[in-house]
Amino acid sequence: MPTKILWAWERPEDLRFIDTKQYGVAFLAQTITLETDNVLPKPRRQPLETAPGTYIIAVTRIETKKGSAERPTFTPEMATKVASLVKNTLELPNVKGVQIDFDAVVSERSFYRSMMKELKKQLPPETPLTMTSLASWCTGDAWFNDFPVDEAVPMAFQMGADDEKIKNYLRNGNDWNETLCRGSYGISVDEPLGVELKPNRRVYYFSNSAWKSADIERIR
């Protein structure tokens, strides 16, 4: 897996210009909504162009209905269904790994854990499994330290009320508390972090608009 990964979200993307020896692509492959007993997948609808040989990761975004009448039941069957849908993204062209993007609240964490363990069982042993993590998760309690993932990517952008607190934490030379978070960073080219990153870590880059070759120069 390259040490630089571009996130390609739900919009038309042409990434044929990247150097495939240096950069990979993590694209939003599907969004799964959990509602009562239902698991509702919505596949990517926007085109994605990549050069031959690009290292590609399929990202699954998980969302939950919050209304009392629509709140998910989080049954084991739902966890199995979600895991199966994620595993199926390996069938998309040139996908080598999968990533989960789920901003789980406290009441959803038990389901998240069981789903990830089921997913790990379903994936081929050599398939990289990663997850995104709110930056606050990586500086707080280690609630996901038993997840069977290769890395948890701290999203150090769009941090809301925690923004200055976490930036100051990093500026003071602190590392992420959670060990799974210590292999990578997630940053935005539109929101400079202003922090010296720890060496030898993978960096995932996010952009609010479609990627252009000029963005690679900004990263450099």
CB within 8 Å of 187: residues ≥ 6 apart: 156, 157, 193, 203, 204, 205, 206
Asked if pLDDT for residue 61 goes beyond 90, the answer is yes
3 state DSSP class of 193? coil
Q: How far apart are CA 28 and CA 154, in angstroms?
A: 17
Q: How far apart are CA 123 and CA 131, in angstroms?
A: 14
Asked if pLDDT for residue 68 goes beyond 80, the answer is no
Asked if pLDDT for residue 219 goes beyond 90, the answer is no
User: 136-178: per-residue pLDDT in tens?
Assistant: 999 987 799 999 999 999 998 888 888 888 998 998 999 999 9
User: 176-187: per-residue pLDDT in tens?
Assistant: 999 999 999 999
Determine the pLDDT at residue 180: 96
- Residue 81: Cβ within 10 Å count: 19
Structure tokens, 194: 């202003």
Q: Which single residue is written with the structure tokens 């941090």?
A: 159
Q: Residues 89, 58: contact at Cβ < 8 Å? A: yes
User: 3-39: per-residue pLDDT in tens?
Assistant: 999 999 999 999 999 999 999 999 999 999 999 999 9
The pTM of the full predicted model, rounded to 2 decimals, is: 0.94
